[in-house]
Amino acid sequence: MLDKKTLFSAVQPSGVPTIGNYVGAINNFVKLQDDYNCIYSIADLHCLTVRQNPAELRQATLGLLALYIACGIDPEKCIMFVQSHVHEHAELTWVLNTITYPGELNRMTQFKDKSRSHADNVNMGLMDYPVLMASDILLYGTSVVPVGADQKQHIELTRDLAIRFNSRYSDTFIVPEGIIPKYGAKIMSLADPTKKMSKSDENLNAFISLYDDTDTIIRKFKRAVTDSDTKIYFDPENKAGISNLLTIYSVFAGVSIDEAVRQFEGKGYGDFKIKVGEAVAEGLKPITEKRLELMKNKDYLNKVMIDGAEKASRIARKTLSKVYRKVGLYRAE
């Protein structure tokens, strides 16, 4: 256990997780927990960069923890905690802000995108998001951070800040590596298979929520965009819709894409889309049942949160104490 590298990842409890989030992130977390010392955070502070309904945010935080456990993330193997429960995240952010340059944050693609989509609420938290993310990672001696393409800039900034702090104040932080996990696949929108599936899509038929019931899942797959051809084969460039459905089927049916193509040879698109929906519904069924069961046991979920925060705080406290000493803050003893 001790010779394993530390892996950190955080997910915001905003919106409803999709099968894309499950395949690309949450399911990977389950596999990675045996290979690394895993620390998984529910990033509720990050959510505040856009306006939230307070009651819904609290419920979503509890719901995401339940979903993690239902998907197979083991609180006995991993540290699982809510970001706002560990105050060192906010404190380290202030210190890192003092070595971060405005131009670095202004160049962030995600800041530019969110500023356009939330033009009525362009706040400093939105700009400072990557520094808080750097604090999340650096507090725990993280070596590895699983990332998607949209987070690469943030990892680069985290590395830059770690190197800059180490250069200015002596070695303090491990410089983390961003990795694309070897497990999983990229799931595209059902309405526009040239775009990644997103929980924030305004078209509810574009994504499958992990909270959708069987009838809803089947209905959405029936409406999935395909093409005017009649053949089922894997060609992401020329048959994006069919290729996306084959990818989804292969993941949830537990077969290779080649095997999926063989299974549907000579079949029509209508039957194919229904079979994909059935495979997804069947795959999500045990997760849904476990999640609903966990949501009825709030005492257990609260205990997982408290225990996780205590474990995370022990690590974070040591890191922050070292940082405060390095920058010259006096501590009375």
Structure tokens at 255: 């077969």
Which residues have C-beta within 8 Å of that of residue 55, sequence separation ≥ 6? none
Active-site choice (152, 182, 195, 199): 199
Catalytic residue check, 196 = yes
> What is the SS3 assignment for 177?
strand
Provide the sign of the torsion angle of the four alpha carbons 227, 231, 237, 243, taken in this order. positive
313 membership: H or E segment, kind and range: helix 298-327
Q: Is 222 a catalytic residue?
A: no
Strand order in the sheet with 177-179: 79-82, 37-42, 6-11, 144-146, 177-179
CB 193 within 8 A of CB 225: yes
- Token pair listed for 45: 């502070």
DSSP 36: S
For residues 259 and 236, what is the distance between their CA atoms, to the nearest angstrom?
Answer: 17
Q: Which of 114, 220, 239, 275 is catalytic?
A: 114
Q: What is the C-alpha separation between 158 and 133, in angstroms, rounded?
A: 8
Q: Which of the residues 196, 220, 273, 275 is marked catalytic?
A: 196
Residues 253 and 260: beta-carbon distance below 8 Å:
yes
In the residue annotation, 199 being an active-site residue is answered as yes
The catalytic residue positions are 114, 196, 199
